[in-house]
Chains A and B, each alone.
Chain A
């Protein structure tokens, strides 16, 4: 029998506030150890099949780690194609969240049709880049971009998201336009957050964004993590960073404006999703210009060790691989959820000391949503 991995949050109340926050995780953080002894090509085929929400990010991070291990440099066109696939997955994930989860959190009906159209449009992207299906070929597959199809996919995404938010997305992420959009109360979740004055929820906690190139000690910590303790509870000299849309885009004009007014609280975090969507679509259009047809690269000798980081939908994803005599010797994956839902991490910091009134569970659910776990997270107040 299989059990779905999950997170469980216990909020222990003492008098008027939350005294302690406990996080229990059943996530299989060492699952990648089973890749040891397999052929790199086999692992690259397994990665997108094994991970449900971030299959492209997992597979492309694995590919990049193996290429580093084998000292292969993918061409700029291959990098552009891979970035397009990564961004497409982020657009699909955050589009789904805004279409399905935002209305549900506010007690409204989800816009599943928009989510379905978005996923349907993006599902054609791999084939539009790599018609032979070899997008995970080491060094780069047979790249034959169908530029019309790619442009059409980006346009369909933009149109669907515009319909979903009821406004042009590029306009919504401008500070003044965002305020005007909020006042029209088009979005039930943001209307709820505004009417309850919850814009600054969680803002009193220290905001520690993940450094752009990851923690400086990442490689060394992974290398010495024999027991998987770092993979389950990562830190950097005792600090637990936050990763995800706000940590990546906090310098964006809309997010600095909202941070000035509400701190790095709930509204700023929700708006960071919209910023990520708008910026991802813009970057996708830019990468589309860097594509060109290329044959598949010859397979090299595979020996060495490599670490690769990517900005996946939920934040920084790291893969470390050691290749020995053409086989995978060691494999480790560090996912964003292990930072964001760390027992001393950003979510726990935001909830510790929170007022223990009748809305506590709902507010906790909104903050859990803002931190965006990639598995189910249940909440208990005791």
Chain B
């Protein structure tokens, strides 16, 4: 499934880029498709682009569900 993994923005970089934290993994993504993103915000990332901003409470809830999915090994 194209699961929406919420990533937390940890640092804003030049050229509309940012570093995000996805469950402990830090990577650089483009912010070209979203507006008004600040450090601490959660974004949904897909193939290197932040697609949408998500409410932190909703992000935590989604991450908890994903943790449950991974723990129960619901993979192909």
Q: Which residues of A contact B33 (CB under 8 A)?
A: 96, 112, 115-116, 119
Nearest B residue to A335, CB-CB: B1
User: Is the CB–CB distance between B3 and A51 below 8 Å?
Assistant: yes
Q: B23 interface residue, CB < 8 Å from A?
A: yes
Binary per-residue interface labels of chain B (35-76) against chain A in the complex, 1 for a CB within 8 Å, 0 otherwise: 100000000101101010010001001110111111010111
Q: Which residues of A contact B61 (CB under 8 A)?
A: 49
- How many angstroms between the C-alpha atoms of A5 and B5 in the bound complex? 10
Q: B10 interface residue, CB < 8 Å from A?
A: no
Stretch of A22-30, A184-192, A242-250, A271-279 with 4 or more beta carbons under 8 angstroms from chain B:
A22-30
Q: A53 interface residue, CB < 8 Å from B?
A: yes
User: Is the CB–CB distance between A31 and B74 below 8 Å?
Assistant: yes
- How many angstroms between the C-alpha atoms of A289 and B50 in the bound complex? 34
A51/B23 contact (C-beta < 8 A), A28-B76, A34-B69, A112-B33 known = no
Smallest CB separation, A38 vs chain B (Å): 10
User: Is the CB–CB distance between A2 and B1 below 8 Å?
Assistant: no
| Interface residue ranges of B1-54 to A (CB < 8 Å) | 1-5, 22-25, 30, 32-33, 35, 44, 46-47, 49, 51, 54
Q: Which residues of B contact A52 (CB under 8 A)?
A: 2-5, 44, 46, 51
A contact residues, total (Cβ < 8 Å): 36
Q: Which residues of B contact A376 (CB under 8 A)?
A: 47
User: Is the CB–CB distance between B32 and A50 below 8 Å?
Assistant: no
User: Is the CB–CB distance between A1 and B23 below 8 Å?
Assistant: yes
Q: Which residues of A contact B58 (CB under 8 A)?
A: 49
Q: Which residues of B contact A87 (CB under 8 A)?
A: none
User: Is the CB–CB distance between A31 and B69 below 8 Å?
Assistant: yes
Smallest CB separation, A239 vs chain B (Å): 20
Nearest B residue to A33, CB-CB: B74
User: Is the CB–CB distance between A333 and B69 below 8 Å?
Assistant: no
Smallest CB separation, B9 vs chain A (Å): 16
Q: Which residues of A contact B4 (CB under 8 A)?
A: 49-52, 55
Q: Which residues of A contact B75 (CB under 8 A)?
A: 26-30
Residues of A within 8 A of B (CB): 1-2, 4-5, 25-31, 33-34, 46, 49-55, 96, 100, 112, 115-116, 119-120, 228, 232, 333, 335, 337, 374-376
Q: Which 8 A-B pairs have the closest CB atoms?
A: A52-B4, A374-B2, A2-B23, A112-B32, A30-B74, A232-B76, A53-B2, A1-B23
Residues of B within 8 A of A (CB): 1-5, 22-25, 30, 32-33, 35, 44, 46-47, 49, 51, 54, 58, 61-63, 65-70, 72, 74-76
